[in-house]
């Protein structure tokens, strides 16, 4: 599975989301943004993981990931 980490900007708020998926970054962005106007996603990490289940969650980045 892929581990995709995105920076999410909505107005003045910035958060980070992690997606464990078998989909592409472009597909993930398209699906996440389809009902979220005025939101921008920037891919900051595209790696792999041994996790077998898909998931998405908000995360806090450590200093090495920023």
Q: What is the pLDDT of residues 36-57, one digit of tens each?
A: 999 999 999 999 999 999 999 9
pLDDT score for 62: 77
In this predicted model, what pLDDT tens digit does every residue of 12-37 receive, in sequence order?
Answer: 999 999 999 999 999 999 999 999 99
How far, in Å, are 29, 58, 61 from residue 33 at the CA level?
Answer: 6, 15, 21
Rounded-to-integer distance, Cα 5 and Cα 12, Å: 19
**Does residue 65 carry a pLDDT above 60?**
no
pLDDT score for 63: 61
pLDDT score for 61: 85
DSSP one-letter string for 1-66: -EEEEEEEEETTEEEEEEEEESS-HHHHHHHHHTT-TTEEEEEEEEEE-S--S-EEEEE---TTT-
């Amino acid at each position: 599975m892929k581990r995709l980490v995105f920076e999410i900007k909505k107005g003045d708020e910035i958060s980070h989301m992690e997606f464990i998926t078998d989909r592409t970054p472009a597909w993930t962005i398209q699906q996440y943004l389809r009902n979220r106007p005025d939101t921008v996603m920037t891919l900051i990490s595209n790696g792999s993981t041994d996790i077998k289940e898909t998931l998405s969650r908000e995360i806090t980045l450590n200093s090495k990931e920023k």
